[in-house]
Chain A
Amino acid sequence: MRRQRSDAELLVAAREDAEAFGEFYDRHIAKVLAFFRRRVPNPELAMDLAAETFAAALGSLSNYIPGEEPATAWLFGIARHRWVDAIRRGRVEDRARRTLEMQRLVVDDHAVAVIERVAAGGALDLLEVLPDDQRDALVARHLDGRAYSEIAAELRCSESVVRKRVSRGLTSLRKVAQRWASDD
């Protein structure tokens, strides 16, 4: 059975394999849409910003360097930049899409319904930038208040592994929060 590639692996592979970027998009479009939907007044704008975010990410693939931070932190950093830029300019830029020669999206009533449904399914907070294993451990420990032993039993791993995941998750969150704050 083929192992599922990580986000970072997908982004590196996407430099030569277009479908890898499609897979990365599939994983995160709902979260990105949810991110924007909570910040702008209508679904059309959220979709516009999400499209520009992924286009900018695609255009910046050569600059992406896998590191300690999850790849989603990189993606949401771009998303946040696009959002702040739209606020400051009073409009959503389409520079990244024009550079990539992408067609502009036209949104009808059906499309609006689809956007709203997808965005609702991707409810997001800062935790969403974490890899699944770290997020699950962090939520179980700090939001649900469960014991490490209980979480370890459920996740079928040792307590030390759970502790390590929680610790790494918190470190990642702190870095992401600091980076977003410095972006403001």
Chain B
Amino acid sequence: MTDPIRKLRRELVAAARREAARTRDPLAGSRRTRGVAGKGRKTLVLVLLLVAASGTAVAATQLFGPPVHPGPVVLGGPKPGSVVLAPLRVRDPAGGLPWGVRIYTPRRSGPAAHSPLSCVQIGRVLNGRLGVIGEDGAFDNDGLFHVLPVEPLAKCVRAAWFASFPGYTPASAFTGHGSCAAPPPGAADPTTKRTARAAGGSRACAIADLRLVVYGVARPHATIVRLASTSGVRNERLVAGDHGAFIFVLTAAGVDASRAHLRVTFGY
């Protein structure tokens, strides 16, 4: 029988006692610092044993909400075996879950003589799954991670070599129902009511909640994609597993989307 409330109190009071002793005797601080490394190893073993022996350790992986609604099937759905979540991961300017790209080929890709049709989805990645975060108005701001099925919010393009989709996106990565409105890329001020109405939303996203996301596909043999913008130059080195997918994520504040441009290097 455990009472976690009392247990935590004991732990906190004991820690407070140690902190108070450390404040009175500054040398105790350095002793503590040195002691952590040695004690850490023992604690690690102890914690692992506790986790293995007990039913439910306090863990932090249960942050999933219901998945994003799949929506109607378009272009016949994804061709079996074509769906790939690129290993590419790009950090968000505010930290947290990284951004990722999923690409696939739809069943109705058109005549074989034409360039293949590729569909691209972006989102945040948690435990190898692409999804969106319930924030910025999405999912009633539940704060949970919502897995994104293949298809919703995807953009498809017939591109032999290169295609890119620059645009403003809420940090949640969700642009569907409930989300704050992200303006079109050319908006002079991304946060005004006018741009929110133009984007079909009732509330414009706060500038801090907006990202300028530039993503797409560059293939075959693309090795480096470079984004030059008013906030500087960024390079993304592509590997075979990326299937040509790339993504850049910038803060919306202080970046002029109309002056951002891409350069792709192909290696043969």
Contacts and interface: CB of A to CB of B under 8 A. Distances in A.
- The answer to whether A binds B is yes
A18 B17 contact: yes
Interface in B101-139: 126-127, 133, 135
Interface string A106-131: 11111110110010000000000000
Contact of A107 (B43, B58, B209): B58
Given A19-B13, A26-B9, A100-B18, A108 B54 contact: yes
A82 to B, nearest CB: 11
Contact of B96 (A87, A102, A184): A87
Contact of A21 (B7, B16, B97, B209): B16
A102 B142 CA distance: 30
Given A15-B20, A111-B2, A91 B12 contact: no
A87 B135 contact: yes
Secondary structure of the A contact surface, majority rule: helix
B64 to A, nearest CB: 8
Given A88-B95, A111-B2, A55 B60 contact: no
B228 interface: no
A180 interface: no
B57 interface: yes
B5 A102 contact: no
28 contacts: A19-B13, A21-B13, A21-B16, A25-B9, A25-B13, A26-B9, A29-B5, A45-B60, A45-B62, A48-B58, A51-B8, A51-B58, A55-B12, A58-B19, A87-B133, A88-B97, A92-B60, A100-B18, A101-B32, A101-B43, A102-B15, A103-B43, A103-B47, A106-B50, A106-B57, A108-B55, A114-B3, A118-B5
Given A47-B4, A107-B4, 15 more contacts: A15-B23, A18-B16, A26-B9, A39-B142, A58-B12, A86-B60, A90-B63, A90-B97, A101-B32, A106-B2, A107-B56, A109-B55, A109-B56, A114-B4, A115-B4
